[in-house]
Amino acid sequence: MKTFNIPVEAALEVIGGKWKVVILCHLIDHGTLRTSELKKRMPNITQKMLTQQLRELESDGVLERIVYNQVPPKVEYKLTDYGTSLAPALQMLCSWGEQHIEKAVSEGEDVMVLSGAEE
């Protein structure tokens, strides 16, 4: 029997990984992404972590893995309908992050967003 002390713990079990929210945000922003495109947008993640986090998200039913049987391999990831139900919450988190950065900048901190991965 799995127990939670407060419902939000159940959400954290799904999005609690170090990179999961970031992955989900990228998928929210771009719809469908190949493995290499995700990696390009997350320069600091390792191959292993990327795969691992994607697998966990997949087995939690929030994203879907689409494998094309071809050479070289092509694999795409996209949110499931269920995963899409997370989008509103995550988008609010994103905009809060933006505000948080602006606040930091206005307070004289040295912060910046690279986000040069837009093609």
Partner DNA sequence: CAGAATCCAGGATGATACTG
Partner DNA sequence: CAGTATCATCCTGGATTCTG
Per CB under 7 A, residues contacting DNA are 17-18, 34-36, 39, 44-51, 54-55, 65, 67, 72-75
What is the closest distance, in whole angstroms, from the C-beta atom of residue 47 to its own copies in the complex?
17
Q: How far is the CB of 71 from its own copies (least distance, A)?
A: 31
CB of 19 to its own copies, least distance (A): 9
Contact of residue 54 among DNA, its own copies, none (CB under 5-8 Å per partner type)? DNA
DSSP 8-state class, residue 13:
H
CA angle 97–28–68, rounded 5-degree value: 140
C-alpha to C-alpha distance for 78 and 60, rounded to whole angstroms: 13
Bridge partner residues of 66 (DSSP): 76
Q: Is 102:96 a contact under the CB 8 Å cutoff?
A: no
Q: Checking DSSP bridges between strand 63-68 and strand 32-34, what pairing results, if any?
A: unpaired
Positions touching its own copies (CB under 8 A) are 1-12, 14-16, 18, 21-22, 25-26, 41-44, 82, 85-86, 88-90, 92-101, 103-104, 109-115, 117
